[in-house]
Structure 1
Amino acid sequence: MGISSPGIGSGLDINGIVSKLMQVESAPLADFDKKSASYLAQVSAFGNLSSALGAFQGALSPLTSLSSFQSLTATPSDSSVLSASATTKALPGNYRVNVTQVAQAQTLASGGYKSTTSTIGLGGTTTINFSLGSVSGGSFGLNGTTLGAGVLTGGLTPGALTINGTAIGTDGSTRSARLLADAINAKSGTTGVSAKAAATVTSATLFGAAGASTFGAVDTSGGGTYALTVGGVQVASQAAGVAAGAAGSINAAALDTALTGDTAVTRALADANITVSGSAAAGTLQFTNADGANINVSEAVSGAVTGGIGNSGTANSGSSTTAISAISLVSADASPITVGGTNPAAAGLTAGVGGAYQGATFAADPDRTSGNIVIDSKNNTLQGIADAINKGNFGVTASLVSDGATGTNATPNHLVLTSSATGASSTMRITLSGSGGNPPDADLVNLLGYDPGGTQNLSQKASALDTLANVNGIAVSSSSTSISGAIAGVTVNVNKTGSSTLAVARDTSTLTTSVNGFVKAYNDLNNQISQLSGYNADTKTGGPLLGDSTVRSLQSALRAQMSQQLTGLKGNLTNLSQVGIAFQKDGSLTLDSSKLNKAITSNFNDIAGLFAAVGKTTDSDINFVSSGASTQAGDYAVDITTLATQGSLTSAAALPATTVIDSDTTWTVKLNDTATASSTATITLPAGSYTPSQLATELQSSINGVSSFANAGWSISATVGADGTLKLQSNRYGAQSNISLNDDTGTSVASVFGAATPVAGVDVAGTIGGYSATGDGQTLTGADGAPVAGLKLTVAGTAIGSRGSIGFSQGYAYQLNTLAGNYLGAKGYINGRTTGLNQSVKDIGKQKDALSARLVDVEARYRAQYTKLDTLVASLNSTASYLTQQLASIAKNG
């Protein structure tokens, strides 16, 4: 192809002509770019608007709940003792709280074992049952033995005894159990341990044995004298010159006469706190001092005397014996007692840590779970037992702890059991039973058998305690470290013992912050809308969304909702101006703090209704739960046709006085059956004889101890009615509430419940505002398509028919939050607008591409046409040149 240079032959500027023509042809491309830029600017602006509206909605979200406006503060004077939180049901006031005990869980520990994996026992199948309950009566502590003999003469030296690390104030004068108990009690405020002296009793053989008296007739005929004193009281005396058997002589019978009835001697002994039992004649005479003081029995003799204690007809040179008793220690909170000191044995105690329940009884708590594990040859080790307990998940956790002891005979490993929950009713009782008629493995019994009212083979390291406190002079208790209900609407969380005041007050600061937050959120949005859609008269420029219908619609809707008076609201406040919120000329909001403060003072509880969605019922047993996006404000009557009930199973007849449960008894329980595995479980009932109440407690604890039930929030109550029947009832309401039992092994279900038929629960039914509603348990929800759609109520109580009404209102923050939601999100108006704009940009791009493609053809056509013109003009120029030359030649030749 040859080189082309358009215009050389013709002299025409072909490229310039075509270029200018193409500039004219491509002019629409600039319009396309301008339109696309405008649309993209609007998309960006809508992005800013969406961001601002999202921030506005985020600021509104917390304002749609009551808690943002009706919260109260609970401020303790000593936060190290307690903290507290208050709900909207609390009443402002000042309270005095004195905490004397903090709740804790019980901990038990076994003796030491060499290894955690060595077998324990013979491997026979043993079922171990864990029950949780409370201990009553008796005490927890240690019983000492008789004080050491040296105490009578030398007392207890200082430092001889310490209790829980505190030295007891003893010295040379501490010569009786009573004085030692007094010394221990003087420190009980520090040690938490009190002491009681056992009654002091003289020797049972002092005056005889085997029914024969050893008190010989006293003879002072040889010129001597005789006197018998008991505890410093002279009970008998004989002057000189009195022969045995003569008038005025002392023998066993005379001694009994002096110690019987209302005599001067018995009165003097009573004044010394000494009582008399038995008789000298029978050889059973004993003296007792109930307060533990020593009792000295002595014979004072002068001269020649025969007879007396242990002496018949032989010389008596006098005698003296002192009876001394022992002490017992009681822990105030049932914690282990640590005994130490330089000579605790002299106090009748053994150094170390110990303590056990004495004279107590255990009662299982039906509200606490119980459970069973089976130990056999597969898991009869400390580790296996701990794993089985933890897998059971029935309120007791197990761990293995080493005390660090070393050596050939060391036994450092201990099984430690701890109640999962705190509180006095979480005390453990562990019973063991065998299988197939065989007894439980003896070694397992020695390891785990524990009954506060009986044998205690485990040692208690920490007792199960309730929190004890005094609130404004009223004693209160709680099974946890939280106390609820003592102060209405307030939960007190206890940290330690001590005293603190608690000030409950309206949280006006949070309310004020919430209202200010509402005003600021609106003004921020209004400012952004103004920037995006306003017109600046100074610069004569408008925002990218000036005149946009979506923005105008949003702005108009915002102002309309802010200006209208709320409907369905029950209270003294119905519009924003009553709390000082008003529009300014520029469309922003202003807040009059004085008006707000006045509203807070006069109508604190009504302010929430201006902002949040609020439902107020006239029936206290019907409560507003929530509403839906379609719920309309209004006052709606509530009519109940059916009350929700709970599923139950009741025995066909009254239970006998005693029900025997055989060994290896297992039952299958179906609770709130929804055809899922979690609604079915197997329970094991410990073998034994049960009273009706005991059986009810065992069933309730066993069923509630099933982890899958507990995880689902399900439980049952077991009660014995006035007619003696046993009733199991699900805690759930509604058609999905049910319970059934089937026997697997051992005692049959029919032997307890007879031909009982389970009764399923029913859902609540009724109408709201005359519109149909759907029941689910105790929850009644307005049906779709009605003004009450999504309005959710819980219905309790016992009445059917008209149950008053509910006034439902949607506060400004709630309505604006809903409004913002209509503009935001994938289905929101803003997304629809930006989708349209982006589509317009795409369409313009397509039009621009089409035009660009056409312009290529146009330019090619122009070039083809002007190329032809160029050739033609060049040809004409050539012809003209030729003719000019020829004409010039003719002229020259002519």
Structure 2
Amino acid sequence: MASIVSSTGLGSGIDINGLVTQLVEAEQKPVTARLDKKEAGIQAKVTAFGTFKSALADFRSSLSGLTSLNQFKQVSATSSNEDMLTVSAASNADLGNYKVEVKQLAQSHALASSGTYKTANDPVGTGTLTIKFGTYTTASGASGTTTTFTQNAEKGSLTLNIDGTNNTLAGIRDAINKANAGVSAAILFNGTGYQLVLNSADSGAKNAMQITGIDALQYTGGTVAGDAAIQTQTAEDALLNINGLPVSSASNTVSNVLKGVTFKLLKAEDPNSKTLIDVGITKGSSDDTSKALEAFTKAYNDLLSTIKEVASYDAEAKKAGPLLGDPAVQGAMSMVRSLLTQPIPGLTGSVRSLVDIGLKTSADGTVSLDSSKLSKALESNRDEVAALFSVIGRASDSGVQYVDANPETQPGSYGVEVTRAATQGTLKGGGALSLSVGTPLVISAGVNDSFSINVDGAVSGTIKLTAGNYTDSQSLLTEIQSRINGDESLRKVGLSVTASLDEGNHLLITSKSFGSASKVSMGSSNATLGLDSSAMATDGTDIAGTIGGLAAEGKGQQLSAIGGAATGLKVLIEDNSVGLRGSVVFSRGLMERLNKALGSILGSTGSVAARSAGMQKDLDQITEDRTKLADRMEKFQARLLKQFTAMDSLVGQLQSTGSYLSQQLKNLPYSGNSN
């Protein structure tokens, strides 16, 4: 508002400045008071709403401790002698007590080059260095002791060309390590000279090395005369007894004997000494779950306390909270209460709601936890308690595995049916193979020892077989499979195959992957093996079936629901059985439902944001009203000043005229009757 320029009225003597100020203030004061009161009320609501929003966010944060399945089924395993072995257990472990005796540790095969070299750059020899993996078996007979090497078909063979560019100790070491094919090489200084030492990457009796092609490194376990390499450590399996039952393992980490239990063997025990293993529910895990639930109930009660503070009516003080009756507050709390009291959709067991695990609601709306009832629920069925809180899918068929779901997947029980099992891509040789002692299959170097194939879209390099007379199918199939799987191009992208013979003795090369992406086709031919124009490639097929009675999308061995309430549900079929495969019960759990609901309330488009925006709009309107009031008062002041100034001028003129007339009258000559 502009300041008043004039001061005391010159014409009238009236304090126009003070009078106009008082008149403007009298006009402005009630409007300003009304705006101040309205703004104070809105600001009180803004502050209260901020407190409410913070309490909602804190309650949402309390959900995090109850979202993990591991929170409800914490399994632990203990060893009575951790110098001998340690043990760990996953949440799906079979519970129980076990007596374990470690009789022998697994170890990897180790070899050293014969002789001692003056430097690491001394030449060793040239040729085609071949390293195969397998098992050495020694047998005694009438003709003496013989050692037989049986190749491990699951391990790829390594073939390296050693020539004048890499025939030194260092060159061979680098070539082996660069291949990254299951064997490591190093150079050792023994005090007088240097030796090349080789170690199989994997322990176990089936992973012993056979080395041929370089005389100084040759090792065949006595199967071929002229072995020069020195065996410094034999390849051995771990041997142990579990509750009296013998168990062998290629590794000292044993994880495939008891479901969910992993042993790490550290030392072979003394005879008749046994380590006691206890696999059970983690001590105190029920207390941890109780603490998480107590934190959850406290956060909810704190939220109620905040609501009582900002959105209730105090009858004693006869005062209403700033958010009493606020629709955003009422809507949010109605949603939360509903989710806390409703059974979880999809659950059919004895635990379906919070009431079933001991959550009680008092008359004032606060909740409390019956720890005794919770403990009983955890002891009797932890899986059902876990399902109450967490997203989970449970398959009734052991050959069906729940994989995943998406936000659109609805809770429920969905039947699974496989109408077509997934298959693997194959390449079938055109001619039958006949092998016997009398008529061996002859592989000759440079004649019929090579071919190439394509696996799942990847192209192999040239695959060369070991030359020789193959008198039995198993040795030939092992050679073919290990050579393909040892191919660098395929190995780098993680692809592998199996080699077998069909009923008609045709060579069958099968990709280890499943589905329409599983393909094996011929590259360069090898007529001896039937890999020529008569060979037939058959691509793999994806699984087909239904989930919840509706056709599902198949990819490899995985079925994905693409329609109906189950949409997004994914399961893996681990075998080739077709037909009805039981059902998958899917539930979202309370924590996800609460988190999603609170997320929608607190999100940028939720009711809290909308209500906050509305209150800010009201504050902006008050600011605009104040601006308009100031403009109106400025104009009102200007109008009053103009009017009073005109009045003052008129009064001044009248006073001047009166003074003039009075003066003139005084100057008139006296007249009157002389009589």
* TM-score between both structures, scaled by the size of structure 2: 0.83
Say if 1:707 and 1:685 are closer, same or farther in 2 by CA, change over 3 A. closer
Say if 1:723 and 1:48 are closer, same or farther in 2 by CA, change over 3 A. same
Amino acid at match of 1:105: S
2:672 is aligned to none
Amino acid at match of 1:371: L
2:289 is aligned to 514
Among 224, 229, 232, the alignment partner of 1:458 is: 229
- Paired residues of 2:454 and 2:460 also in contact (CA < 8 A): yes
Among 47, 50, 65, the alignment partner of 1:44 is: 50
Amino acid at match of 2:638: A
Identity among equivalent positions (%) equals 29
- Paired residues of 2:67 and 2:591 also in contact (CA < 8 A): no
- Determine if the alignment matches structure 1 residue 889 to structure 2 residue 667: no
* TM-score between both structures, scaled by the size of structure 1: 0.64
Note the C-alpha offset of 1:615.
Answer: 3.9
Amino acid at match of 2:555: D
Say if 1:718 and 1:593 are closer, same or farther in 2 by CA, change over 3 A. same
Note the C-alpha offset of 1:463.
Answer: 2.7
Among 661, 669, 672, the alignment partner of 2:453 is: 669
2:542 is aligned to 763
Say which SS state the counterpart of residue 416 (structure 2) adopts. Answer: strand
Find the aligned partners of 1:61 and 1:710 in 2 and give their Cα distance. 39
Larger radius of gyration: 1
Among 303, 307, 330, the alignment partner of 1:528 is: 303
Note the C-alpha offset of 1:365.
Answer: 0.7
Among 581, 592, 597, the alignment partner of 1:817 is: 592
Note the C-alpha offset of 1:711.
Answer: 6.4
Note the C-alpha offset of 1:71.
Answer: 4.3
- Determine if the alignment matches structure 1 residue 399 to structure 2 residue 399: no
Find the aligned partners of 2:406 and 2:560 in 1 and give their Cα distance. 10
Note the C-alpha offset of 1:393.
Answer: 1.6
Note the C-alpha offset of 1:597.
Answer: 3.6
Find the aligned partners of 1:618 and 1:736 in 2 and give their Cα distance. 29
2:647 is aligned to 873
Among 670, 681, 687, the alignment partner of 2:460 is: 681
1:255 is aligned to none
Q: Which runs of 5+ in 2 are unaligned?
A: 669-675
1:56 is aligned to 62
Note the C-alpha offset of 1:502.
Answer: 0.5
Note the C-alpha offset of 1:749.
Answer: 7.7
Say if 1:842 and 1:566 are closer, same or farther in 2 by CA, change over 3 A. closer
Count of residues in correspondence between the two structures = 638
- Paired residues of 1:70 and 1:605 also in contact (CA < 8 A): yes
- Paired residues of 2:426 and 2:539 also in contact (CA < 8 A): yes
Among 489, 511, 514, the alignment partner of 1:730 is: 511
Taking the TM superposition and a 5 Å limit, the aligned residue runs for 1:766-777 are 766-777=545-556
Note the C-alpha offset of 1:51.
Answer: 2.7
Note the C-alpha offset of 1:452.
Answer: 1.9
Among 435, 442, 449, the alignment partner of 2:218 is: 449
Say if 1:28 and 1:645 are closer, same or farther in 2 by CA, change over 3 A. farther
- Determine if the alignment matches structure 1 residue 481 to structure 2 residue 252: yes
1:6 is aligned to 6
Among 200, 204, 212, the alignment partner of 1:423 is: 204
Say if 1:708 and 1:555 are closer, same or farther in 2 by CA, change over 3 A. farther
- Determine if the alignment matches structure 1 residue 362 to structure 2 residue 133: no
1:190 is aligned to none
Among 639, 651, 664, the alignment partner of 2:429 is: 651
Q: Deviations over 1:511-570 (max 9, x none)?
A: 453254235324413422541464373676666655444443343333333333445445
- Determine if the alignment matches structure 1 residue 808 to structure 2 residue 585: yes
- Paired residues of 1:519 and 1:589 also in contact (CA < 8 A): no
- Determine if the alignment matches structure 1 residue 552 to structure 2 residue 558: no
Say which SS state the counterpart of residue 864 (structure 1) adopts. Answer: helix
Find the aligned partners of 1:399 and 1:544 in 2 and give their Cα distance. 78
Amino acid at match of 2:118: K
Find the aligned partners of 1:633 and 1:598 in 2 and give their Cα distance. 26
- Determine if the alignment matches structure 1 residue 76 to structure 2 residue 40: no
- Paired residues of 2:517 and 2:540 also in contact (CA < 8 A): yes
Note the C-alpha offset of 1:780.
Answer: 1.3
Find the aligned partners of 2:555 and 2:212 in 1 and give their Cα distance. 42
Taking the TM superposition and a 5 Å limit, the aligned residue runs for 1:434-445 are 445=214
Say if 1:60 and 1:692 are closer, same or farther in 2 by CA, change over 3 A. same
Find the aligned partners of 1:530 and 1:40 in 2 and give their Cα distance. 18
Say if 1:586 and 1:495 are closer, same or farther in 2 by CA, change over 3 A. farther
Amino acid at match of 2:374: L
- Paired residues of 2:85 and 2:266 also in contact (CA < 8 A): yes
Say which SS state the counterpart of residue 653 (structure 2) adopts. Answer: helix
**Aligned-residue RMSD, C-alpha:** 3.5
- Paired residues of 1:550 and 1:830 also in contact (CA < 8 A): no
2:102 is aligned to 99
Amino acid at match of 1:560: S
Q: Deviations over 1:250-295 (max 9, x none)?
A: xxxxxxxxxxxxxxxxxxxxxxxxxxxxxxxxxxxxxxxxxxxxxx
Say which SS state the counterpart of residue 518 (structure 1) adopts. Answer: helix
Note the C-alpha offset of 1:30.
Answer: 3.9
- Determine if the alignment matches structure 1 residue 862 to structure 2 residue 636: yes
Taking the TM superposition and a 5 Å limit, the aligned residue runs for 1:407-418 are 411=193, 413-418=194-199
Find the aligned partners of 1:652 and 1:629 in 2 and give their Cα distance. 50
Note the C-alpha offset of 1:614.
Answer: 4.4
Find the aligned partners of 1:20 and 1:663 in 2 and give their Cα distance. 116
Find the aligned partners of 2:244 and 2:379 in 1 and give their Cα distance. 30
Q: Which runs of 5+ in 1 are unaligned?
A: 140-357, 433-444, 674-678
1:696 is aligned to 477
Find the aligned partners of 1:546 and 1:816 in 2 and give their Cα distance. 28
Say which SS state the counterpart of residue 862 (structure 1) adopts. Answer: helix
Find the aligned partners of 1:402 and 1:546 in 2 and give their Cα distance. 85
2:673 is aligned to none
Find the aligned partners of 1:456 and 1:104 in 2 and give their Cα distance. 22
Taking the TM superposition and a 5 Å limit, the aligned residue runs for 1:563-642 are 563-566=341-344, 568-642=346-420
Note the C-alpha offset of 1:363.
Answer: 1.5
Note the C-alpha offset of 1:629.
Answer: 2.6
